[in-house]
Structure 1
Amino acid sequence: MQIALTQKLATGSGKTLSPAQENVHPLFDWTANWVKVWANSRTEDMLIVLNNSTRFVVAIYPIKKKELKQMDSIIKDAIANTLLRINVNPELVTAYMEQIDSFTYVKNSNRKISGYLTQAANEVVYEVYDVFDGIKASGHVIDDTVGYRFNYLVVNGPGGSSNPVCPYETFLAALSSHYGIQAYNYQALELLVTLDLGIYQAVRRLIVPAQYTFAQLHDVLQSAFSWKNSHLHDFSFYLKKSAKNKYKRPDLSLVMPAIYEGYGEVIDKQQVSDYLSKYKQVYYTYDFGDNWQHEIKLVRTIENYHQESPYLLEAIGQTPPEDVGGVPGFIEFSQILADSNHPEYQSTEKWAGYWRPVLNDWEKRPRMIRL
């Protein structure tokens, strides 16, 4: 693999730069930089690496100068982990990694690539701010997938603004074509999630990877139902199915660390597939004040799924606004908005803001859920 280094990274890493080779396969032609993240005296910088032809980006944070001596393995692991983070076929990832048997470092002399690299770095730095929230990582744990979301953006390709590309699509297409291996091949679950609101049901039909954790499923449900992730949540499991279960103590609960007091298990790395196959009824409860209980049903298991996910297959029914007062409060809220002569109509409409009682066409449309 040939990686062009900026002057800063070449100096910091102490790498000896070789003459650049012109006949390098595009999949193995990258450029890297060592970027300062914080404006203060903190020394946790970021290593960012960009595939020149597809604009696919890998970022590693935090990276200190002494760790640049292991740059070969750090970059290789980061590329593999970033691909796996976006659920790429492990067989394809392994094939690519096996062909990266050595690294050649050269001087970066492409000003256009440098511009793209700077743009990517600026985007990913904001992701670092969001993920780490200005807090120093405990124990200096390296996050080598922190830049994966950048690859979902549409950016200028090798031809400039006339040739926009979506980096992950372009890179995966090139990988799949080069090795003759499907980009995606994994076990997936089709889920039917129902939020009973008394006057109607809000329903979302989803495809998620079977190896997803409940922490990841929580993120999917927040997006699918347009919640704001501003309240506590848990998952409740029942061995026997009953309409009364939502009022009963569950056989098992997975709870957030913030509310764990020896009750249930803390949500960690438990896989969704392990629990949905065992328990007959599962609820995801969001906001213990409003108590929004979403029933999760496993529709089917798909053994060899060749598409991206998580994916929203179907959306029916609008989600209530946050903090409306649970099902009773939402029913009263809906009745007031349906009657323009109600004395509380104007104040309720103002409180509702941009909330609308029906889903827009784009909200109903099947789509990828980007986490």
Structure 2
Amino acid sequence: MQIGCTKKLLDYLKIQAVPVDTAIDPLFSWSANMIMVNQRRTIVVSNDASRYAFILYGIKRGDVKNIEILLLEGVRACLETMCFAPSIIEQYFQDCGEQVTFSKTANRSVVAGLNNVCEHAYFFFNRYSPEVLLQRQVIRYLNTNFLTVKTTEGSGYVHISDKFSSDIEQKYGQPLFRCKAAVFDVDLELDSTCHRRVLIPLNCTFREFHNVLQTLFGWLNHHLHDFWIERHPNGRLKYTLTGFPREFEEEGETTKDDSLVFLHDVFPQYREIIYNYDFGDSWIVHIRLHEIVDDYDKNHPVCLDWEGEAPPEDVGGRYGYAELLGILKNPEDPEYKDMMEWYRGSRHQLFDLGYVNRRLRNW
């Protein structure tokens, strides 16, 4: 596998570059640069054909001796994040070779693309974790940018992830995707039914799962959240995943960053967990594992079924929502006009399965 490095990175690695092999298909060639993010050395690596990228964050001198292993691990993480079939992943490594060679960057076009990826990488400075070098949890976010491509009508734009997927498909054909996924029954505690059934790859983080749940309920991610994984026999929380930093943990409670824990780390060991959103309104969502799917043929979530509307943000919790519904059903109520005006300004939308699945397609 050819890794084209900038002079800055080559100097840091203290590696003598070999000549660039221009005969290598850009699909099998990657380029790398080193930048500073949060005062930490960060290596940004992108594919020469599609700019699909990954991040090594907080590199130190002691990590240099393992740089080849780290780079190969990063490329594999990209392929796995895309949910490519295991047979395609193994064929890719056979075709590009698992022996890493370091060259200078291939050409100006590749350097321009790499610089663009580096600029994009700065936007996610608050998502990087010092606990790990390979930032698997940001791979999907990092590759949501657009790429200019030539078309029969001139030029157009395509998501970097879609370009990477298209390149792999042209090389290896179908079936392109195959991964382990899970079907969850998701129920919001209300006086009425509010149910969603969703199929989602197990290689996503709980932070990404949080975003999926926001889409399923039409919420706007305005508030804090956490996941309650396990309780002590006395009912106190034992194992929690959180989306915000805590100064300390409660005695007997283990708290982890939900962006660093993947669904496959929790399921199927646990069959039911709780998602707690908006600590003021306190929305309690029961998430029950329905089944594991071993050969899911997509790389994104799909809402399979639904029943009942979800409440809007900031309505005052379960009882505030019940009060809102009661007022809106009675135009003669003295508060009807004010509440209707508030509801229209809440930007809340009624559930539309097609719209939700289009949003989940680009999660």
Q: How would you bin the TM-score normalised by the shorter chain?
A: 0.7 to 0.9
Deviation at 1:60, TM superposition (A): 1.7
Matches within 5 A, 1:319-338: 319-338=310-329
From 42, 46, 61, the equivalent of 1:46 is: 42
Task: Give per-residue Cα distances to partners, 1:47-85, cap 9 Å, x unaligned.
Answer: 112222222222222235674564433222211123323
Farther off after superposition, 63-72 or 21-30: 63-72
1:72 aligns with one of 50, 65, 68: 68
Contact 1:92/1:181 (CA < 8 Å) preserved in 2? no
Moved more, 97-106 or 256-265: 256-265
Counterpart position of 1:124:
121
Q: Distance in 1 between matches of 2:254 and 2:63?
A: 37
| Matched residue, 2:281 | 290
TM-score (norm 2): 0.77
* CA contact 2:72–2:98 (8 Å) conserved in 1: no
1:193 Cα deviation from its structure 2 partner: 1.6
Matched residue, 2:216: 224
Larger deviation, residues 98-107 vs 70-79 = 98-107
The partner residue of 1:96 within 80, 92, 96 is 92
The residue type paired with residue 193 of structure 1 is V
In structure 1, the gaps of 5 or more residues are: 239-247
Contact 2:181 2:201 in 1 (8 A): yes
- Is this contact kept in 1: 2:36–2:42, CA < 8 A? yes
Contact 1:224/1:369 (<8 A) preserved: no
- 1:207-226 Cα distance to aligned partner (Å, 9 max, x none): 02356676664453234224
User: Structure 2 matches for 1:345-364, cutoff 5 A?
Assistant: 345=336, 347-349=338-340, 351-352=342-343, 353-356=345-348, 358-359=350-351, 363-364=355-356
Partner of residue 170 from structure 1, selected from 150, 163, 168? 163
Q: Identify the match of residue 113 of structure 1 among 110, 114, 125.
A: 110
| Whole-angstrom CA distance in 2 between matches of 1:284 and 1:51 | 36
Tell me how large the CA RMSD over aligned residues is: 3.8
Number of aligned residue pairs: 347
For 1:255, give the aligned amino acid.
T
Cα distance in structure 1, aligned partners of 2:316 and 2:277: 13
Q: How many Å apart are 1:34 and its aligned residue?
A: 1.6
AA matched with 1:203: H
Other structure's SS at 2:143 match: helix
**CA distance change for structure 1 residues 52 and 214 in 2, over 3 Å: closer, same or farther?**
closer
State the TM-score, normalizing by the size of structure 1.
0.75
Correspondence for 1:242: none
Contact preservation (8 Å) 1:212, 1:272: no
The answer to whether the Cα contact below 8 Å between 1:188 and 1:208 also exists between their aligned partners in 2 is yes
CA contact (8 A) 1:213 1:271 kept: no
Superposed CA offset, 1:111-148 (max 9, x none): 22222222211112111x2314xxx836xx41343344
**Distance (whole Å) between structure 2 residues aligned to residue 202 and residue 161 of structure 1:** 47
Please tell me whether the aligned partners of residues 317 and 358 of structure 1 are also in contact (alpha carbons under 8 angstroms).
no
More moved, 97-106 vs 176-185? 176-185
Q: In 2 relative to 1, CA 229–81 (structure 1 residues): closer, same or farther, beyond 3 Å?
A: farther
Instruction: Please say if 1:193 is aligned against 2:186.
Output: yes
Q: Give the share of equivalent positions with the same residue, in percent.
A: 24
Could you tell me which residue of structure 1 aligns to residue 35 of structure 2? 35
Q: Is 1:306 matched up with 2:297? A: yes
Question: Partners of 1:47 and 1:92 in 2: how far apart?
Answer: 26
Going from structure 1 to structure 2, the CA distance change for 1:122 and 1:347 (only over 3 Å counts) comes to: farther
Give the superposition deviation at 1:272. Answer: 2.1
| Deviation at residue 206 of structure 1 after TM alignment | 0.6
Q: What is the DSSP-based 3-state SS (H/G/I as helix, E as strand, rest coil) of the residue aligned with 2:42?
A: strand
Pick from 268, 278, 285 the counterpart of residue 273 of structure 1: 268
Distance in 2 (CA, whole Å) between partners of 1:55 and 1:11 is: 23
Distance in 1 (CA, whole Å) between partners of 2:150 and 2:13 is 28
Taking a change above 3 Å as real, the CA distance of residues 18 and 252 of structure 1, as seen in their structure-2 partners, is closer
Cα displacement string for residues 23-54 of structure 1 (whole angstroms, at most 9, x for unaligned residues): 1123222222222335xxx3x13211222222
Q: What CA distance in whole angstroms lies between the structure 2 residues aligned with 1:179 and 1:360?
A: 35
Q: Deviations over 1:131-180 (max 9, x none)?
A: 14xxx836xx4134334423233311377971533333333444455456
Q: What is the one-letter code of the residue matched to 1:313?
A: L
